[in-house]
Amino acid sequence: MLSRHQDPIVAIATAPGRGAVGIVRVSSAQDLTPIVQALCGKTLKPREASYLPFRAADGEAIDQGLALLFPAPHSYTGEHVLELQAHGGPVVLQLLLARCMEAGTGMRMRLAEPGEFTQRAFLNGKLDLAQAEAVSDLIDASTEAAARSASRALAGALSGEVGELRDALIKLRMLVEATLDFPEEEIDFLQQADALGQLDRLHARLAAVLDRTQQGALLREGIKVVLAGQPNVGKSSLLNALAGAELAIVTPIPGTTRDKVSQTIQIEGVPLHISDTAGLRETEDEVERIGVARSWDAIADADVVLFLHDLSRIGQPDYEAEDRLINERLQGVDAGRILQVFNKADTAHGQDLAPGAVALSAKTGAGLSELRQRLLQQVGWHATPEGLFIARERHVQALKRTREHLELAKAVATQQPPALDLLAEELRLSHDALGEITGAFSADDLLGEIFSRFCIGK
């Protein structure tokens, strides 16, 4: 993948479709003077916008717009970058793109791959990997809180936290390695250097960063919520109430919902991907049976399962027997992911609910506020968006591996006598896991996976 890094690249950097302005972006480690002269017919002053015609090969103007040249290394990619800002018609932009390719034939100009401009920014040291990912997260942000948090991550909030952990870890590694290199000094390393104290403080700081990173991952990924239960317990009505729109058909007829209906809402800036599913029951209807099977698949993949009950039918033998069957099958689901919800509270009073259950009325809206807060609590959300940086699940997993190796390091350090070589190895592995976040230690296949998800032109 990296062998093509030296090729000049070009792409349309604005979204497909018509718009007031469209941008064609070129990046190259080589001098871009031939491209600039071919399209602009003049020398451009660095970082100064020039309004001029963009010329075709025969000298005819393709369009008129702004041209900006950013010489290396003072550019987004760290290479020479040319941006042509033209009218945002698809034909105009395709003509400019083709003209750039034509003018750059001798330079081996090619079309950019998804995320390749940001990838070059990472490879040239303009961004670390966490910041590069934040670029994509900022573009894809689905809530205001997610956008603000992605902006903080792009500015280096997550990278700064990881950098402080890395510096403390490096200091500890240096002390251990020095002791290994000079055993004749017979220094009681663990006591004089306060290795155990340093490990404890490092572990505490890591726990705080991990907690904030998990909150940031929730802000980015959102929460997958599935509404489950028997037919006619009010799943579709609850989806509509939470979404504030008539998304799902609601009728008194059992089995109205036969397939998954999904909607994304937000609570305190956290995206919730809510799915209404077919009522769970045995049925002879082939279409409904397929829907029920998909319901169970959705339940297995959910972060939170809202198991809905109908308060108006409590005490009915057939209804309670079906609820027990569903509950038995839910035994295979982590109990921490299931929230018991009793609907139709407006039609029943004085019912004793299980501890931790929520009573509400999807019809009147009573109890919805409590449900929203319980959903956030169920997944461990406790942060306020202010000051929070966005994060990804891979960041969380890297920090967890860092923690595991630090815990093993402490176990080694408390042995009598301590095996300093094993301690050094666990600290090294912890350092490597931490480095995966910012890209200090990254395999090419990981980079390919990350940048392939970017849009072309970014």
Q: What is the pLDDT of residues 355-394, one digit of tens each?
A: 888 998 888 889 999 999 999 888 888 877 667 899 999 9
Same domain, 83 and 190: no
Same domain, 214 and 227: no
Please tell me which of 22-26, 207-211, 267-271 the model is most confident about, judged by mean pLDDT: 22-26
Task: Print the domain residue range for 304.
Answer: 222-378
Same domain, 47 and 174: no
pLDDT band at 253 (very low <50, low <70, confident <90, very high): very low
Please give the Cα distance from 145 to 190 (Å, whole number): 45
pTM: 0.81
Q: What is the pLDDT of residue 249?
A: 44
Same domain, 63 and 96: yes
Domain for residue 341, yes or no? yes
Q: In what order do the strands lie in the sheet with 80-88?
A: 50-55, 61-70, 80-88, 19-28, 9-12, 110-111
Q: What is the pLDDT of residue 1?
A: 42
Asked if pLDDT for residue 251 goes beyond 70, the answer is: no
Same domain, 81 and 156: no
Domain for residue 458, yes or no? no
Residues 259 and 278 sit within 8 Å (Cβ to Cβ): yes
Domain for residue 351, yes or no? yes
**H or E element in which residue 320 lies:** helix 317-329
CATH number of 150's domain: 1.20.120.430
Same domain, 260 and 344: yes
Residue where a domain terminates, one of 349, 378, 407: 378
Domain for residue 457, yes or no? no
Q: What's the whole-number mean pLDDT along residues 180-198?
A: 68
Sign of CA dihedral 370, 372, 375, 380: negative
Domain for residue 275, yes or no? yes
Domain for residue 131, yes or no? no
Same domain, 374 and 226: yes
Q: Worst-scoring range by mean pLDDT, 112-121, 141-150, 273-282, 404-413?
A: 273-282
Q: DSSP letter for 311, please.
A: G
Same domain, 370 and 258: yes
Same domain, 226 and 214: no
User: How does DSSP assign 92-153, residue by residue?
Assistant: HHHHHHHHHHHHTGGGT-EEPPTTHHHHHHHHTTSS-HHHHHHHHHHHH--SHHHHHHHHHH
Asked if pLDDT for residue 154 goes beyond 60, the answer is: yes
Residue where a domain terminates, one of 335, 351, 378: 378
Same domain, 227 and 371: yes
Q: What is the pLDDT of residue 280?
A: 75
Please tell me which of 33-42, 223-232, 332-341, 406-415 the model is most confident about, judged by mean pLDDT: 33-42
Q: What is the pLDDT of residue 270?
A: 87
Task: Please report, rounded to a whole number, the percentage of residues in the chain having pLDDT higher than 70.
Answer: 90
Task: Please report, rounded to a whole number, the percentage of residues in the chain having pLDDT higher than 90.
Answer: 47
Other beta carbons less than 10 A from residue 112's beta carbon: 22
The closest of 305, 378, 296, 301 to 340, measured between CA atoms, is: 305
Domain for residue 114, yes or no? yes
Torsion of CA 121, 123, 115, 66, to 10 degrees: 30
Same domain, 96 and 15: yes
Other beta carbons less than 10 A from residue 383's beta carbon: 21
CATH number of 231's domain: 3.40.50.300
Residue where a domain terminates, one of 326, 355, 378: 378
Q: What is the pLDDT of residues 39-95, one digit of tens each?
A: 999 999 999 999 999 999 999 999 999 999 999 999 999 999 999 999 999 999 999
Q: What is the pLDDT of residues 284-309, one digit of tens each?
A: 667 767 777 788 888 888 899 999 98
pLDDT band at 196 (very low <50, low <70, confident <90, very high): confident
When the pLDDT of each residue in the chain is averaged and rounded to a whole number, the result is 86
Structure-token match 């959705």, residue found: 298
Same domain, 361 and 242: yes
pLDDT band at 353 (very low <50, low <70, confident <90, very high): confident
The more confident residue out of 182 and 317 is 317
Instruction: Give the SS3 label for residue 60.
Output: coil
Domain for residue 456, yes or no? no
Tally of domains within the chain: 3
Asked if pLDDT for residue 2 goes beyond 50, the answer is: no
